[in-house]
Amino acid sequence: MALNGYATAFAVKPLLLAAAGYQATAAQNGLEALQCIQKQAPTLLMCDLEMPRMSGPELLQIVRRQFPGIAVIAMSGSYADDTVPEGLMADAFYCKGTQRPTDLFRMIADVIRTSDSRGQLHSTGVSDKHF
């Protein structure tokens, strides 16, 4: 079965994160992601900037306003480097296609550690390894 890039990432990322010991939940679009967050705020949100129904930047604006304690890693294949694009409300940026999965796992750990040390995480009873 052939899947387009977005569908492949949607199907594979939760499996990779689970294999690394993280509890992961996936959403098919920005609106669904917001609904999941409203039900149970995660420790970390990994947000693709190119999503149907609600773009990543739109989702991040809402999340930062309503859930300021959620750490955020934005991701896209539309940028040339791993610098957070100007104006983007994210703690880190993962450049798909130029960075390796090991870079992403290191980034996840760093963002969780940094957010935890700043005391920004909500006390929701969710483990540090929940997405």
- At 56, the amino acid letter reads G
In a domain, 130, yes or no: no
Per the listing, tokens 């190119």 go with: 50
The reported pTM is: 0.75
**For the segment 49-75, what is each residue's pLDDT rounded down to a tens digit?**
888 888 899 999 999 999 999 999 998
Task: Residue 71: give its domain's CATH number.
Answer: 3.40.50.2300
Where are any strands of DSSP class E within the chain? Answer: 44-48, 71-76, 92-95
Percent pLDDT > 90 in the chain is 26
Instruction: Assess if residue 125 is contained within a domain.
Output: no
How does pLDDT run across 30-55, given as a tens digit for each residue?
Answer: 999 999 999 999 989 999 888 888 88
DSSP 8-state secondary structure symbol assigned to residue 44: E
Q: Give a yes or no: residue 124 inside a domain.
A: no
Q: Evaluate whether residue 123 is within a structural domain.
A: no
Segment 91-119 mean pLDDT: 83
Residue 103 belongs to a domain: yes
User: How many structural domains compose the chain?
Assistant: 1
In-domain check, residue 129: no
Angle between the N-to-C axes of helices 30-39 and 56-66, in degrees from 0 to 180, rounded to the nearest 10: 20
Using CA atoms, how far apart are residues 127 and 33, in angstroms rounded to an integer? 19
| Rounded Cα distance, 29 and 101, in Å | 22
The range of the structural domain enclosing residue 68 comes to 5-118
| Domain-located, residue 67 | yes
